[in-house]
């Protein structure tokens, strides 16, 4: 008999999993990889003290309210269209956030402001018309914004004046920026 009580990592990519509710009792899980499945909601995972969650290429429509222990969150290529303050504001340990290729039109920079350790923010291939502002993230090194509907940096750069040294040291990817 195998006990699940000590299980700390699960990888179940490339399956046809529709729900992760059966994982909610595994309280010692720290890392879950559920890429390329058919999952619509991650809410059952909200009470698990995860450090890393990857659910890329699923059908997730809403960012779940996860435990504040999360450091890495990968939700690339889903159906997320909004991010509210209560979904992300408490994620103070977050260092890596990939929301690329979703349906985001806008993110309020204030919602990310408590993510002070965030060093990688991927928002590429969404439907955003502007860079999230104010975006005061002192550890940010990588910001991907390719494939959106951006037409200017103006309001974002004006809000970053006191952080010029951080911005020039960062890698900013914007090949689709319209002139």
Residue-wise pLDDT tens digits, 14-52:
999 999 999 988 999 999 999 999 999 999 999 999 999
What pLDDT is recorded for position 171? 52
Burial (Cβ within 10 Å: 0-12, 13-18, ≥19) of residue 5: exposed
Say if residues 38 and 62 touch (Cβ distance below 8 Å): no
* Mean pLDDT value across the chain: 87
Distance from the first to the final alpha carbon of the chain: 63
| 175, pLDDT greater than 80 | no
C-alpha dihedral (136, 140, 141, 147), degrees to nearest 10: -80
The DSSP H or E segment spanning 103 is: none
**What share of the chain has pLDDT > 90, as a percent?**
69
pLDDT tens-digit series, residues 57-77: 999 999 989 999 999 999 999
Of 90, 104, 94, nearest to 145 (Cα)?
104
The DSSP H or E segment spanning 124 is: none
pLDDT tens-digit series, residues 113-171: 899 999 999 999 999 998 888 888 999 999 999 999 998 776 666 555 544 444 444 45
Say if residues 58 and 79 touch (Cβ distance below 8 Å): no
């Amino acid at each position: 008999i195998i006990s699940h009580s000590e299980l700390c990592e699960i990888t179940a990519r490339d399956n046809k999993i529709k729900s992760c509710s059966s994982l909610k009792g595994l309280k010692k899980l720290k890392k879950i990889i559920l890429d390329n499945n058919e999952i619509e909601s991650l809410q059952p995972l909200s009470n698990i003290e995860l450090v890393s969650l990857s659910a890329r290429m699923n059908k997730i429509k809403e960012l779940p309210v996860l435990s504040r222990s999360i450091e890495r969150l990968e939700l690339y290529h889903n159906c997320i269209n909004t991010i509210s303050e209560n979904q992300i504001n408490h994620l103070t340990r977050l260092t890596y956030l990939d929301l690329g290729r979703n349906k985001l039109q806008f993110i309020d920079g204030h919602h990310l402001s408590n993510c002070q350790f965030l060093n990688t923010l991927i928002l590429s291939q969404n439907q955003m018309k502007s860079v999230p502002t104010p975006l005061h993230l002192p550890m940010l090194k990588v910001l991907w914004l390719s494939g959106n509907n951006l037409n200017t940096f103006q309001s974002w750069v004006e809000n970053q004046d006191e952080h010029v040294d951080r911005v020039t040291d960062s890698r900013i990817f914007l090949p689709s920026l319209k002139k």
